[in-house]
Amino acid sequence: MGKGTNRKSNRKIPYEEQTSSKPRRWDHIFGILTVATIIWFGLIIYNDFKSLDADTPTNNTQNQTLDNVVAAQDKGLAIPENTWTIDNGSVICIDAGHGGSDKGTVSGRYEESSICLSIAESVQQELERMGAEVVMTRTSDIAISQEQRVKIGNDKNADVFVSIHLNSSTNEAANGAEAWIHSNKPNNSLKLSKTILEEIAINTGIHNRDVKYGTLADSKENYYINSRSKSASLILELGFITSNSDMLIINNKAENIAKAIASGIGKYLNGGNKGESEKY
Ligand SMILES: [Zn+2]
């Protein structure tokens, strides 16, 4: 293009630079992309491990122990075949402890009031399947007083009143199911409680802590339900919300627990205990 193209040739310099430097730039870009990709994959893998970790509530050693507990408890603990029927017109009052703003004991992700309600509803279904008339003190997450609970059972002339709770302790090793009855050691409540606890122990592997009298603070005092209920009654502590092994059973064997409670009640009522009110 001759001299007139001086400016053009000047303009070409960048073009030359561009073309000659092109392979180097692509190298850079490729290098940066590779590094970025490696970092990106690295982050994904790291986050995956992190979320796995967050989903695991306990460390591996604890999981191992709990797995062993489950394996041991699973031996021979199929869902019990409950063959009892309750066709003698018996009325059973099932009371899910706490409710509403009263959550009972809260331990980690566990809430006593909601676990009790869920098990109480399963017990109701099983008892109704057996032919019983069931009255529930609550069927939703509502607050209800001790007076109201007892009144619901007494108004229906219930033959049995079972209040469902979970125990708690600062000692994580404390475990097992227990029942609290009136301090005067009423025969029917004792019989009913022993039958239910035996059924629970046999069908779930939960340790049987047996029947206790009065209150935790004073064996001569009484929980309101036990002091005012006209029927055989008990406060049933299914297990400890603070115990890993108990909660594992309560979570995994909820159906066993519900059927065990219902079959214990069935066994008690079929033993000729209908309508016998407690005399303190
Ligand atoms: Zn409770």
Ligand 1 centroid to Cα of residue 238, in Å, is 10
Ligand 1 centroid to Cα of residue 12, in Å, is 87
Which pLDDT score is estimated for 133? 97
Q: What is the CATH number of domain 66-273?
A: 3.40.630.40
> In 131-243, which residue ranges form alpha helices assigned H by DSSP?
146-155, 187-204, 224-228
Confidence of residue 39 (pLDDT cuts 50, 70, 90): low
At residue 272, does pLDDT exceed 80?
no
Domain ranges of the chain: 3-55, 66-273
Ligand 1 centroid to Cα of residue 114, in Å, is 11
At residue 71, does pLDDT exceed 80?
no
Which pLDDT score is estimated for 76? 52
Ligand 1 centroid to Cα of residue 102, in Å, is 9
Predicted confidence (pLDDT) per residue in 154-187, tens digit: 999 999 999 999 999 999 999 999 999 999 999 9
Ligand 1 centroid to Cα of residue 70, in Å, is 25
Predicted confidence (pLDDT) per residue in 191-209, tens digit: 999 999 999 999 999 999 9
Predicted confidence (pLDDT) per residue in 212-241, tens digit: 999 999 999 999 999 999 999 999 999 999
The single residue listed with the structure tokens 């301090």 is: 183
The rounded distance, in Å, linking the Cα atoms of 42 and 168 is: 44
- Percentage of the chain modeled with pLDDT above 90: 64
Considering the entire predicted model, what is its pTM? 0.73
Binning the chain into helix, strand and coil, the percentages to the nearest 5 are: 55, 15, 30
